Amino acid sequence: MNQRTSPSLRLAALALAGGLAVSACSGSSSGTAEGAADGEIAISGSSTVEPISVRVGELFSETGGVLPSVEGPGTGDGFKKFCAGETDISDASRAIKDEEIATCDEAGVTYTELQIANDALTVLTNEANDSIECLTFEDLYGLVGPESEGVANWSDAKDKGATSDLPDAPLEIFAPGTESGTYDSFYELAIEGLAEENGAPEDVQIRPDYGGLANDNEIVSGMQSVDTSFGWVGFAFAEEAEGVREIEVDGGDGCVAPSAETVSDGTYPLARPLFIYVNNEKLANNQALSDFVDFYLSDEGMAAVPEVGYVSLADADLEATRSTWESAKS
C-alpha cells in the first residue's frame, strides 16, 4: 500500500555531483551510524531535490554510514526508474502523477511519500532588463501558456491575455524541459487555472516552441546571454545565480517576491513542496535504507535543507512527515 504525507501546508541549485552516504538512527534528534547496516542505496530524480539528498548523504557519511548513489536527471525520469524498481528513493519536486502511480501499481512497486522541504519557482530575466518588476499569472500565461506559441516579443503577450504593460522587446525563453518537475509545477501553479478558463487544448501545457533545458544551470547560463530573456528555476538556485534578476509574481493578491518567509507562509504564489519517495519493498529488505531515511528526517538531516538554500518545513508538517515514516516502518 502506498503512503503519502498530509502536511497542513502542501506548498508547492546547482546540483552537486557524486555518490554520497547513509545510515543512522531515527527520531527528531540527531542520528549516528553506530552499528551501521551494510547495503546499497540508489537515489534518482529531481535535480532540485538532489542537493538536499547530496548534503544529507555527506552528513550521514561522516557518521560511518553506507554511501548511496545520488543523481538528478529530473523528477519524471526519476519516477521511471523508481517504478521500474531500479532505485530505492526517488527525489521529486512535485507529487507523483496519476499515470506514474499507475505505472508503479502495474509493476507492483509500493512507496511512501515524504515531504522534506519547501521550495518555490523563481521567475527570472537578465539583470540588464530593468523594465519588468512584477508579472501577473495572466502575464505568465500570455508569455508561455499553451496558446502563446509564436509570441516573439514581450508586448505581444497582450494578445494572449497579459494584463501588464510589457516592453516592446524580443522574448527568448530559457526554461525546463517536459521531464522536469519544475516544468510541471510551473504549469500547475501559474498556468493550469487560466488554461482551463480559456478552454485551451489539454494536450499542451507550456508553449512547445522553445528548447527545454536539462537543469537550472543551463537555464541561467542561457538567460545571462540574452538581455531580454525570460525563464524560471528553483528558488534555491536563483538565490545564488549571477547575471539574472528575480521578478515578483502577482497571483491575485498583489506582487510578492520569493523569500524564505514568503515561501514558508504561503504568500508567494509559486511556492511548492519537495518530496522523497521510498520503495516499501526495498525498505523491508534493506536496513541501510531504513537507517538512511531515519537520518534524513532527524534534526541533523533536516539541517541540510536551509544549508543548501531551501525552506524548512513548519513544525507541524515535519511532525506529519515523521509520523508517516514511522507508520511505513511498522
Q: What is the DSSP string of 69-129?
A: EE--S-HHHHHHHHHTT--SEEEESSPPPHHHHHHHHHHT--EEEEEEEEEEEEEEEETT-
| Contact by Cβ (8 Å): 170, 125 | no
Q: Whose CA is closest to 133, among 141, 123, 143?
A: 123
Share of the chain above pLDDT 90, in %: 81
* 132-175 residue pLDDT tens: 999 999 999 999 999 999 999 999 999 999 999 999 999 999 99
- Provide the sign of the torsion angle of the four alpha carbons 232, 92, 184, 193, taken in this order: negative
Superfamily of the domain at 121-271: Periplasmic binding protein-like II (3.40.190.10)
Confidence check: pLDDT of 90 > 80: yes
CA 132 vs CA 66, 72, 166, 208, 226: distances in Å: 48, 32, 7, 24, 15
Q: Give the Cα separation of 329 and 77 in Å (integer).
A: 26
Distance CA 175, CA 172 (A): 10
Burial of 52 by CB count in 10 Å (0-12 exposed, 13-18 middle, 19+ buried)?
buried
Q: Kindly state the average pLDDT of the residues 92-103.
A: 97
Contact of 45 with 180, CB cutoff 8 Å: no
Q: Side chain identity at 204, as an amino acid letter?
A: V
Q: How confident is the model at residue 202 (pLDDT cuts 50, 70, 90)?
A: confident
212 vs 178: CA distance, rounded Å = 7
CB neighbours of residue 267 within 10 Å: 15
Quote the pTM value: 0.80
C-alpha cell at 249: 509574481
Domain parsing of the chain, residue ranges:
42-118+274-329, 121-271
* Angstrom distance (rounded) from CA 139 to CA 191: 10
CATH architecture label of 42-118+274-329: 3-Layer(aba) Sandwich (3.40)
27-56 residue pLDDT tens:
444 444 455 567 899 999 998 999 999 999
- Alpha carbons within 13 A on the beta-carbon side of 4: 11
Q: Mean pLDDT over residues 78-100, rounded? A: 97
Report the chain's mean pLDDT, rounded to a whole number: 90
pLDDT (0 to 100) of residue 263: 94
DSSP 63: T
Return the pLDDT at 299: 98
Query: Which residues have C-beta within 8 Å of that of residue 42, sequence separation ≥ 6?
Result: 68, 69, 86, 87, 88, 89
Predicted pLDDT of residue 131: 95
Q: How far apart are the first and last CA of the chain?
A: 13
